[in-house]
Structure 1
Amino acid sequence: MGQKIQTLIADTKQKFGLVEYDLLNYSLHHHVDIYGQTSYTIAMEWLSKFETGFDEEKNPERNAIIDIDFHSGRVVRVIFVGGVSNATYAPFINKSTDEIIDWIEKMTGYTYHEQFQLEFEEPGHLLFRECFNGIPISPSGYIKLKYHESGQLTTFIVHGQFPCKELIKENHFMLTTENRQSIIEQQLTFTTLPSNENKTMKSLYAIEEIFVAYSGDKTYPYEFTVQDKPDTPVHKILSWASPIGRPFVRKPIQFNKEITLEQATNCEPHPSTRLFTEQELVKCIEVTTNFLRQVYPQDSGKWILTTVHRHHHYIQAILKLVESNRFIFKRKLQLSIDDRTYEAINYLDNQLLLDAYDEYKAAGEVLISKEVALEKIKPYIQITPIYVFDKVQKQYILCELIDCHKAIDAESGEMLNLADV
Structure 2
Amino acid sequence: MNAKIKQLIDQTKAKFGLDLYHLKRHSFHRYVNMFNETIYRFNMEWFPSHETEPEDDDLNPDGTAIIEVNLNTGQVETVIFVMDKTYAQHGVTFKRPYPAHVIQWIEQETGLIYGEHFHMHQKEKGGLFFEEAIDGVKVTPSGRIEVKWDEHGQLMYFTHHGPFLAKTLLRAEEYVLSIDKLENLAEQQVQQFQWPSFEHNRIRTIYALEEIYVKNDGTGTIPFEIGREETLCIHMNEIIEWNEPLNKAFEKKEMNIHEDISAEQAFSLEPSPDTIPISKEEQTECIKAVRTFLAQKYSKDTGKWVLKTLHRDHGYIHAILKTNGQEGSGFMDKIKVFIDASSFEAVNYIDKKEMFQVCGILSPSQSASEITVSQKEAFEKLRERLELTPIYVYDEVQKQYVLCGKLDCHDGIDSESGEVFSLKDLS
Question: What is the TM-score of this pair, normalised by structure 2?
Answer: 0.90
**Residue of structure 1 equivalent to 2:38:** 38
Cα distance in 2 for partners of 1:182, 1:299 equals 31
Cα distance in 1 for partners of 2:311, 2:385 equals 37
Tell me the CA shift for residue 96 of structure 1.
3.0
User: Residues 338 and 204 (structure 1 numbering): CA distance in 2 closer, same or farther, change over 3 Å?
Assistant: closer
**Residue of structure 2 equivalent to 1:388:** 393
CA contact (8 A) 2:208 2:412 kept: yes
Cα distance in 2 for partners of 1:397, 1:164 equals 9
Tell me the CA shift for residue 152 of structure 1.
1.0
> What is the aligned length?
420
User: Residues 52 and 372 (structure 1 numbering): CA distance in 2 closer, same or farther, change over 3 Å?
Assistant: closer
User: Residues 128 and 53 (structure 1 numbering): CA distance in 2 closer, same or farther, change over 3 Å?
Assistant: same
**Residue of structure 2 equivalent to 1:69:** 70
User: Residues 406 and 331 (structure 1 numbering): CA distance in 2 closer, same or farther, change over 3 Å?
Assistant: closer
**Residue of structure 1 equivalent to 2:286:** 284
Confirm whether residue 208 of structure 1 aligns to residue 210 of structure 2.
yes
**Residue of structure 2 equivalent to 1:408:** 413
Deviates more, 1:326-335 or 1:410-419: 326-335
Tell me the CA shift for residue 144 of structure 1.
1.2
Confirm whether residue 2 of structure 1 aligns to residue 8 of structure 2.
no
Tell me the CA shift for residue 146 of structure 1.
0.7
Question: Secondary structure of 2:424's partner?
Answer: helix
Unaligned runs of 5+ in 2: none
Cα distance in 2 for partners of 1:251, 1:326 equals 27
Kindly provide the CA deviation profile for residues 6-32 of structure 1, in whole angstroms up to 9, marking residues without a partner as x.
111111111111111111121111121
Kindly provide the CA deviation profile for residues 291-338 of structure 1, in whole angstroms up to 9, marking residues without a partner as x.
334334444444332221111111122233436536333433322221
User: Residues 314 and 371 (structure 1 numbering): CA distance in 2 closer, same or farther, change over 3 Å?
Assistant: closer
Find 2:232's aligned residue among 223, 227, 230. 230
**Residue of structure 1 equivalent to 2:53:** 53
**Residue of structure 1 equivalent to 2:24:** 24
User: Residues 84 and 185 (structure 1 numbering): CA distance in 2 closer, same or farther, change over 3 Å?
Assistant: same
CA contact (8 A) 1:114 1:134 kept: no
Tell me the CA shift for residue 270 of structure 1.
1.8
Confirm whether residue 85 of structure 1 aligns to residue 86 of structure 2.
yes
CA contact (8 A) 1:34 1:228 kept: yes
Question: Secondary structure of 1:35's partner?
Answer: coil
CA contact (8 A) 2:95 2:101 kept: no
Tell me the CA shift for residue 371 of structure 1.
4.8
Tell me the CA shift for residue 254 of structure 1.
0.7
User: Residues 226 and 288 (structure 1 numbering): CA distance in 2 closer, same or farther, change over 3 Å?
Assistant: closer
**Residue of structure 1 equivalent to 2:110:** 108
Deviates more, 1:239-248 or 1:266-275: 239-248
Give the AA of the match of 1:311.
D
Tell me the CA shift for residue 369 of structure 1.
4.8
Give the AA of the match of 1:390.
D
User: Residues 299 and 184 (structure 1 numbering): CA distance in 2 closer, same or farther, change over 3 Å?
Assistant: closer
CA contact (8 A) 1:383 1:400 kept: yes
Cα distance in 2 for partners of 1:346, 1:208 equals 29
Q: Which aligned runs of 4 or more in structure 1 are off by greater than 6 angstroms?
A: none
Cα distance in 1 for partners of 2:23, 2:412 equals 53
**Residue of structure 2 equivalent to 1:363:** 369
Question: Secondary structure of 2:339's partner?
Answer: strand
User: Residues 380 and 241 (structure 1 numbering): CA distance in 2 closer, same or farther, change over 3 Å?
Assistant: closer
| Equivalent residue runs for 1:113-192 within 5 Å | 113-172=115-174, 174-192=176-194
User: Residues 346 and 170 (structure 1 numbering): CA distance in 2 closer, same or farther, change over 3 Å?
Assistant: same
Cα distance in 1 for partners of 2:49, 2:345 equals 48
CA contact (8 A) 1:288 1:344 kept: yes
CA contact (8 A) 1:179 1:216 kept: no
Cα distance in 1 for partners of 2:300, 2:197 equals 32
Q: What is the percentage of aligned positions where both structures have the same residue? A: 37
User: Residues 248 and 201 (structure 1 numbering): CA distance in 2 closer, same or farther, change over 3 Å?
Assistant: closer
Cα distance in 2 for partners of 1:297, 1:177 equals 43
Superposition RMSD in Å = 2.4
Cα distance in 2 for partners of 1:260, 1:171 equals 45
User: Residues 214 and 67 (structure 1 numbering): CA distance in 2 closer, same or farther, change over 3 Å?
Assistant: same
Give the AA of the match of 1:34.
M
